[in-house]
Amino acid sequence: MKIKSAEFVVSNSDVSKCPKTRLPEYAFIGRSNVGKSSLINMLTGRKSLAKTSGKPGKTQLINHFLINKNWHLVDLPGYGYARVSKSSKKVFQKFITQYFSLREQLITAFVLVDIRHEPQPIDLEFMQWLGENGIPFSIIFTKADKLKPKAIENHIEAYKAILLETWEDMPNYFITSSSKSIGKDTVLDYIEQLNGNMALEGE
């Protein structure tokens, strides 16, 4: 898939105010500082579509971007150690769960995980929650340029070992690096394939 256009549509914390169109949505979410904004900018080929920040927890709203006039990329708040008050954290954690529970346009989520770290309980718990709620997702391992190929393999095997204790199969996953544009085509081709499947089902 080639990204010809990427436009910001709306930011809000109220799921009922998300776009009313029936366009398919793909939601990107991960722990604070996982490189989500950089990944979104890399995928869309826009340097500052999503705001990048050195401060964890910068995204605190549901952000919709219209891609190629026919699908929405949704940038969701990071979970984890965002530097916000406990009351703010509760509010935006609540609208993350509301988004996943109520948004019928959602096709799949992409859960971003920093490949340099061993499996983190907060990521595993979130994937478990998605699974229990029947929400399809893929894992996107970020920052792959920071590790050698063998280390990447070892880290993915560690994830597989833990996930297969509770899952029948390893979830679909991608290996990416925003700074080196690794994984861009595979993620976009996957979205294009899902969009194509939906078009066939709609005929």
Kindly calculate the radius of gyration of the chain based on its CA atoms and give it in whole angstroms: 16
190: pLDDT strictly greater than 60:
yes
Confidence of residue 201 (pLDDT cuts 50, 70, 90): low
pLDDT at res. 59: 58
Q: pLDDT digit string (tens) for 127-151? A: 998 998 999 999 999 999 999 999 9
Q: Which of 30, 132, 26 is nearest to 79 (CA)?
A: 30
Q: In what order do the strands lie in the sheet with 137-142?
A: 6-12, 62-67, 71-75, 25-30, 106-114, 137-142, 173-175
pLDDT at res. 181: 95
CA–CA–CA angle 132, 115, 165 (5° rounding)? 40
8: pLDDT strictly greater than 90:
yes
pTM of this prediction?
0.90
Q: Please give the CATH superfamily to which domain 6-13+22-90+103-202 belongs.
A: P-loop containing nucleotide triphosphate hydrolases (3.40.50.300)
What residue ranges do the domains of the chain occupy? 6-13+22-90+103-202
